[in-house]
Amino acid sequence: MSQPRPFNFSAGPATLPEEVLQQAADEMLDWQGSGMGVMEMSHRGREFISIYEQAVGDLRELLQVPANFRILFMQGGGLGENAIVPLNLSRGGKVDAVITGSWSTKSTNEAKRYADVHVAASNLADRHRSLPPASSWQLRDGASYVHVCSNETIDGVEFHELPDLKALGSAAPLVIDFSSHVLSRPVDWSRVGLAFGGAQKNIGPAGLTIVVVREDLLGHALPSCPSAFDYKIVADADSMFNTPPTYSIYIAGLVFQWLKKFEYAGKSGLAAIEQRNIDKAALLYAALDSSQFYENRVAANCRSRMNVPFYLRDERLNDAFLTGAKARGLLQLKGHKSVGGMRASIYNALPLEGVQALCTYLKDFEAQNG
Amino acid sequence: MSQPRPFNFSAGPATLPEEVLQQAADEMLDWQGSGMGVMEMSHRGREFISIYEQAVGDLRELLQVPANFRILFMQGGGLGENAIVPLNLSRGGKVDAVITGSWSTKSTNEAKRYADVHVAASNLADRHRSLPPASSWQLRDGASYVHVCSNETIDGVEFHELPDLKALGSAAPLVIDFSSHVLSRPVDWSRVGLAFGGAQKNIGPAGLTIVVVREDLLGHALPSCPSAFDYKIVADADSMFNTPPTYSIYIAGLVFQWLKKFEYAGKSGLAAIEQRNIDKAALLYAALDSSQFYENRVAANCRSRMNVPFYLRDERLNDAFLTGAKARGLLQLKGHKSVGGMRASIYNALPLEGVQALCTYLKDFEAQNG
């Protein structure tokens, strides 16, 4: 590539670091002198086992996952986990759920097929634009878990602090769907029982699902849970009960290595990427807020650092906006069909320069059309 | 790559055509001028939709899938499908199963968790080395389906003709697990209700599962079936209810295009690859049978064209055999741990020259050690 790559704001599958893609291309036919590409390796051979162990170890280090949590590489994505979580954790009993947007709504509806689900709080009346304060949640005694989507990809709402369920009087483990902001910031594991996420936003290719689960939550699957999706079976087999999505794990591993080496503003690793994410988000929200031409509708205290939905106040200009963006190499800015408008997903791999270019375009388009 | 690649006999994930890997490497950072790699594309964007539609169309053409069958791209592999099939098809009733090796045994055991499973026939007494004749199968009235593994990857047993259940007096649809010989030969769809297979043997990367299902079998899932694995929901969403494993579908699509252009012995496409598979298998079995040093233990009429397990009569030489093979660029010949010995998986992408090189090595090693 002699010219710079366009900036890709897709909500997922999403942009990946150029260095990662380049290394993957270079190693496609021969991984480190093995005579095989990674796609062609037995998952039981020492070559792939070394890739797997490095990836698990690096993810554990990046997210500072405590020793009493297991890291599982699974399949089926977030929508698959919406069933797999209650199949494994609900014991057919009570589940409390907090509705904060499209994804937590989907999770809640799917869980109802397996458990007695109670909506402990919801921001629906506010059209998913704010977060119901944890102090207002109606949690039940004896819930098997409490489900939260810690970053709503479509609505652009993010928990900047995870709820402390113990302080709220609940003994239930917290389950978080962190698909769209995993690895963008640290996780407070003292408040979490299980976290899951599809890889295709901040990690790597679609088709890999990350599950981080506290060991005491293993081994309680309902009888109807498929063996391949039983956390205990998967954990006992080191994610190799069935053939894992090997190439996706390899790409995820390259992303983890990229993150470990990442430096920004005098910081390194996850702290560095978090700082850059803070700076990118601040830049973009400031550009939107300073204009009467665009608007972001999410309450300031829970705006997502990853997914920034915004609207042109004159929506007749939407098509022209997208056409002009593409001409400048700003790709996939169209909003989700369920909410319309625009959305800039500014995941880890999207450079600061991408947000700067978008902000410049916002100004220029407004100047021409405002 | 200036020197030829080693020959990789892995049972799966398995060798892929060099041209496919080269094209994937070339397009890694920029697919056809889109400014995005395939891993970075929204699955709802027109670029990926075109990749998906081409792949489905090419697979339909290659396997001559009739119009009343749907092609689904799913996740979870063969072991996932072992639960997903009974969840979708059993209606909690009767399932008949034919045991022919390790994979059909696993499928049968998993199905027992969802249905009343009856073993209609088994070759266990023969240590999975022959096929029980269809005329001997004890099929039940009212079975929701009959399960068969049409090629046993570990045991090296293949159905060279699918059973005609109607002729056997059963009205049940036949379900075949064709993971390890899909696209190596045609499928007689008049005898099949559903076929499933993990992609990582003859198609592409691990993490993609192909399901080809007759439309009248959709819509009967048990209430406990996760939405993401409900065939009707997946079919209605064109395999995009959840984010599909997009990069794996892309690689599979490249393999389909490679197959469509494949020429051999005056034939083209699937007929050509089948002829080469016949020739490769004949060469290897002849080499084994002509020796007193090696043995393949499977009955001649049901030997797999894809997976050839064999044994050195003096098993103390196993390690030396594998070391010598690797030194000649003949990789991953070790047999499955459950049966020991050796196994040469000679899938579509393994060239004739690979089998020739293996046959030469068989002779040379015998000459040195026999």
Say what the pLDDT of residue B370 is: 83
Confidence of residue B1 (pLDDT cuts 50, 70, 90): very low
**Residue where a domain stops, chosen among A259, A279, A314:** A259
Nearest Cα to Cα of residue A115 among A93, A143, A148:
A93
Q: What is the pLDDT of residue B308?
A: 98
Tens of pLDDT along A283-324? 999 999 999 999 999 999 999 999 999 999 999 999 999 999
> Domain for residue A125, yes or no?
yes
Beta-strand runs (E) in A184-336: 194-198, 209-214, 263-264, 267-268, 294-295, 307-312, 330-331
**In terms of domains, do A189 and A272 share one?**
no
A327 touches chain B (CB under 8 A): no
Tokens representing A49 are: 């086992």
Give the CATH number, domain containing residue A303. Answer: 3.90.1150.10
pLDDT number for residue B127: 94
Q: Does B226 touch chain A (CB under 8 A)?
A: yes
| DSSP count for chain B of H helices, then E strands | 9, 16
pLDDT-derived band at A3 (thresholds 50, 70, 90) equals low
Handedness of CA B179, B182, B188, B194 (dihedral sign): positive
Indicate whether B55 belongs to any domain. Answer: yes
Give the pLDDT score at B3. 65
Please tell me which of the candidates B5, B35, B228 has its beta carbon nearest to residue A83.
B228
**Chain B contacts of A10, Cβ < 8 Å?**
36, 40-42, 45
B75–A41 CB contact, under 8 Å: no
Same domain, A62 and A139: yes
Confidence of residue A343 (pLDDT cuts 50, 70, 90): very high
Q: Are residues B94 and B227 in the same domain?
A: yes
Residue B14 lies in a domain: no
Residue A4: pLDDT band by 50, 70, 90 thresholds?
A: confident
Nearest-angstrom CA–CA distance, B370 and B352: 26
Structure tokens at A148: 């939260």
Rounded mean pLDDT of chain B? Answer: 97
pLDDT 10s digits, A142-170: 999 999 999 999 999 999 999 999 999 99
Question: Sign of dihedral through CA atoms A109, A111, A115, A116?
Answer: negative
Q: What is the CATH number of the domain that holds B134?
A: 3.40.640.10
Q: Which of B239, B259, B279 is the last residue of a domain?
A: B259
In order of A41, A317, A329, B34, B155, the CA distances from A324 in angstroms are 44, 11, 9, 16, 59
* Gap between the Cα atoms of A143 and B341, Å rounded: 51
User: Same structural domain for residues A30 and A149?
Assistant: yes
Q: List pLDDT tens digits, range B19-49.
A: 999 999 999 999 999 999 999 999 999 999 9
Taking only the tens place, the pLDDT of each residue in B132-167 is 999 999 999 999 999 999 999 999 999 999 999 999
Q: What is the mean pLDDT of residues A337-347?
A: 96
Same domain (yes/no): B27, B159: yes
Q: What phi-psi label fits residue A270: left (phi over 0), alpha (psi between -120 and 50 degrees) or beta?
A: alpha
Q: What does the pLDDT average to over A19-24?
A: 98
Among A20, A38, A225, A242, which would you mutate to test the B interface (most chain B Cβ atoms within 10 Å of its Cβ)?
A242
Same domain, B239 and B349: no
Among the partner residues A25, A248, A331, nearest to B35 by beta-carbon distance:
A331
A1 lies in a domain?
A: no
Nearest 5°: phi and psi at A347?
Answer: -70, 175
B293-335: pLDDT as tens digits: 999 999 999 999 999 999 999 999 999 999 999 999 999 999 9
CB within 8 Å: A110 and B227: yes
By percentage, how much of chain A surpasses pLDDT 90?
A: 99
Structure confidence by residue, pLDDT tens digits, B49-106: 999 999 999 999 999 999 999 999 999 999 999 999 999 999 999 999 999 999 999 9
What total number of domains does chain B contain? 2
Average pLDDT over every residue of A244-255: 98
Cis peptide before B163 (omega within 30 of 0): no
pLDDT tens, residue by residue, A182-207: 999 999 999 999 999 999 999 999 99
- Exposed, middle or buried by CB within 10 Å (0-12, 13-18, 19+), for A35? buried
- Portion of chain A with pLDDT greater than 70, in percent: 99
| Coil/strand/helix, residue A194 | strand
Question: For the complex shown, is ipTM > 0.95?
Answer: yes
Give yes or no for residue B4 having a pLDDT over 90. Answer: no
Say whether both A90 and A181 belong to one domain.
Answer: yes
Interface check A240 vs B, CB under 8 A: no
In a domain, B2, yes or no: no
Q: What is the pLDDT of residue A1?
A: 42
Please determine, for residue A2, whether its predicted confidence score (pLDDT) is greater than 60: no
Task: Choose among A5, A29, A42: nearest Cβ to B18.
Answer: A29
Q: 3-class secondary structure for B125-167? A: HHCCCCCCCHHHCCCCCCEEEEEEECEECCCCEECCCCCCCCC
Q: How far is CA B333 from CA B4, B112, B349, in A?
A: 19, 34, 16
- Shared-domain flag, residues B347 and B206: no
Q: Is A42 in contact with B13 (Cβ distance < 8 A)?
A: yes
A125-149 exposure pattern, b = at least 16 Cβ within 10 A, e = fewer: eeebbbbbebeebebeeebbbbbbb
| C-alpha closest to that of A119 among A133, A129, A109, A131 | A109
Give the bridge partners for A208, in sequence order. Answer: none
User: Which tokens go with B337?
Assistant: 């741990």
Do residue A56 and residue A176 come from a single domain? yes
A18 touches chain B (CB under 8 A): yes
> In terms of domains, do A235 and A96 share one?
yes
Name residue A330's beta-bridge partners. A7
From chain A, the residues in CB contact with B202 under 8 A are none
Same domain, A220 and A285: no
Whole-number Å distance between alpha carbons of B318 and B294: 11
* Residue where one domain finishes, among candidates A259, A285, A313: A259
B110 touching A, CB under 8 A? Answer: yes
For A292, the domain range is: 262-369
Rounded CA gap, A35 and B6, in Å?
Answer: 6
Read off the pLDDT band of A28 (50, 70, 90). very high
Domain contains B234: yes
- Residue B153 touches chain A, beta carbons under 8 Å: no
Q: Residue B369: which H helix or E strand, with range?
A: helix B352-369
CB atoms inside a 10 Å sphere around CB B158:
26
User: Tokens 């009235």, residue?
Assistant: B141
Q: Check pLDDT > 60 for residue B2.
A: no
What residue ranges in chain B does DSSP mark as E strands?
Answer: 7-8, 69-74, 94-99, 116-122, 143-149, 151-152, 157-158, 174-177, 194-198, 209-214, 263-264, 267-268, 294-295, 307-312, 330-331, 342-345
- Sort out which chain B residues have CB atoms less than 8 A from A331's CB and list them: 35-36
Using the Cα atoms of residue A342, residue B244, residue A243 and residue B86 in order, give the sign of their dihedral: positive
Do A47 and A168 belong together in one domain? yes
| B window 56-75, beta carbon within 8 A of A | 75
Chain A residues in contact with B37 by the CB 8 A cut-off are: 16, 21
The set of catalytic residues of B is 103, 177, 201
B355's CB contacts (< 8 A; 6+ apart) are B280, B283, B284, B344, B346
Q: What are phi and psi of A278, to 5 degrees?
A: -60, -45
Rounded percentage of chain B residues whose pLDDT exceeds 70: 99
Q: Residue A324 in 3-state DSSP?
A: helix
- The answer to whether the Cβ–Cβ distance between A229 and B80 falls below 8 Å is yes
Listed residue (B334, B231, B331, B351) closest to B283, CA to CA:
B351
